[in-house]
Amino acid sequence: MVFVTTFAVMMEIETALIFEKNAIPQGTVAWQSPSNIALVKYWGKKEHQIPCNASVSFTLDKSVSKTTVHYTPSDSQAFQLAFYLDGERNEKFEKKISMFFQSILHLQPFLNQLSFTIHSSNTFPHSAGIASSASGMSALALCLCQIEQNHFQTLTNTDTFLRKASTLARLGSGSACRSVYGGLVVWGETSACPQSANKYAVPLTENVHPVFHDYCDTILIIDAGQKSVSSRAGHELMHTNPFAVSRFRQASENMEILLKAISGGDLDTFIRITESEALTLHAMMMTSEPSYMLMRPNTIQVIERIRAFRSETGIPVCFTLDAGPNVHTLYPAIHKKEVLSFIKNELIIYLYNSLMIEDGTGNGPKNLDV
Ligand code: 2P0
**Higher confidence at residue 224 or residue 54?**
54
Residue 129 has pLDDT above 70, yes or no: no
Contact assessment for residue 53 and residue 39, using Cβ atoms and an 8 Å cutoff: no
How close is the Cα of 36 to the center of ligand 1, in Å? 10
Q: Atom of ligand 1 at shortest distance to CA of 170?
A: 12
Q: Please, what's the b/e burial string for 304-322 (b: 16 or more CB within 10 A of its CB; e: otherwise)?
A: ebbeebbeeeeebbbbbbb
Q: Which pLDDT score is estimated for 173?
A: 96
In this prediction, residue 2 carries a pLDDT of 40
pLDDT cut 70: percent of the chain above it: 95
Question: Checking DSSP bridges between strand 114-122 and strand 80-85, what pairing results, if any?
Answer: parallel
> Which atom number of ligand 1 is nearest to the Cα of residue 36?
20
Question: What is the mean predicted confidence (pLDDT) over 167-192?
Answer: 98
Residue 125, pLDDT score: 72
Nearest CA to ligand 1 atom 5: 41
In the reported structure, the alpha carbon of residue 176 is separated from the centroid of ligand 1 by a whole-number distance in angstroms of: 8
> How far away, in angstroms, is 15 Cα from ligand 1 center?
31
Strand partners for 119: 68, 84
**pLDDT for 205 beyond 70:** yes
117 in Cβ contact with 4 (< 8 Å): no
- Give percent of the chain above pLDDT 90: 91
pLDDT digits (tens, 9 = 90+) for 330-352: 999 999 999 999 999 999 999 99
Average predicted confidence (pLDDT) for the chain: 94
pLDDT at 9 over 60: no
Q: What is the arithmetic mean of pLDDT over 208-219?
A: 98
Q: Where are the strands (E) in the chain, listed by range? A: 27-40, 45-46, 50-51, 55-73, 80-85, 88-89, 114-122, 184-187, 201-203, 216-220, 318-321, 327-331, 356-360, 366-367
Best residue for ligand 1 mutational test, from 97, 173, 285 (most atoms within 8 Å of Cβ) = 173
Nearest CA to ligand 1 atom 14: 231
Which residues lie closer than 8 Å to 250 by C-beta, 6 or more apart? 280
Q: Tally the C-alpha atoms within 13 A of residue 366's C-alpha that lie toward its C-beta.
A: 12
Structural domains of the chain in order of their starting residue, each with its CATH number: 25-206 (3.30.230.10), 212-360 (3.30.70.890)
**56 CA to centre of ligand 1 in angstroms:** 12
**Overall pTM > 0.85:** yes
What average pLDDT does the segment 148-163 reach? 98
C-beta of residue 32 within 8 angstroms of C-beta of residue 139: yes
Ligand 1 atom with minimal separation from the 40 CA: 3
Query: What is the pLDDT at residue 5?
Result: 46
Closest protein CA for atom 4 of ligand 1: 42
Pocket of ligand 1 (CB under 6 A): 38, 41-43, 49, 55, 133, 173-175, 231-232, 235, 281, 322-323
pLDDT for res 127:
62
Q: What is the mean pLDDT of residues 11-31?
A: 89
Rounded mean pLDDT, 160-167? 98
Is the pLDDT assigned to residue 4 strictly greater than 50? Answer: no
Q: What is the mean pLDDT of residues 234-260?
A: 98
Query: What residues contact 274, with CB distance under 8 A and at least 6 apart?
Result: 39, 258, 318, 319, 320, 330
Q: Which atom of ligand 1 is nearest to the CA of 55?
A: 3
Stretch 243-253: mean pLDDT: 98
297, with CB counted inside 10 A (0-12, 13-18, 19+), is exposed
Whether 261 has a pLDDT exceeding 50, the answer reads yes
Task: Please give the residue that has the higher pLDDT: either 228 or 170.
Answer: 170
Give the tens place of pLDDT for each residue, 132-150: 899 999 999 999 999 999 9
**Sign, Cα dihedral of 311, 312, 315, 321:** negative
DSSP 337-349: HHHHHHIIIIIGG
In the sheet that holds 356-360, the strands lie side by side as 318-321, 327-331, 216-220, 356-360
Instruction: Report how far ligand 1's centroid is from the alpha carbon of 348 (Å).
Output: 27
String of DSSP letters for 113-150: GEEEEEEEEESS-GGG----HHHHHHHHHHHHHHHHHH
**Residue 16 Cα, ligand 1 centroid: separation in angstroms?**
32
By alpha-carbon position, which residue is closest to atom 9 of ligand 1?
232
Cα of 101 from ligand 1 centre, angstroms? 19
Q: Output the CA 361–ligand 1 centroid distance in Å.
A: 19
Q: How high is the pLDDT of residue 15?
A: 73
What does the pLDDT look like over 296-319, one tens digit per residue?
999 999 999 999 999 999 999 999
- Calculate mean pLDDT across residues 12-17: 77
Q: What are phi and psi of 218, to 5 degrees?
A: -95, 115
> What is the spatial distance between Cα 247 and Cα 261, in angstroms, rounded to a whole number?
20
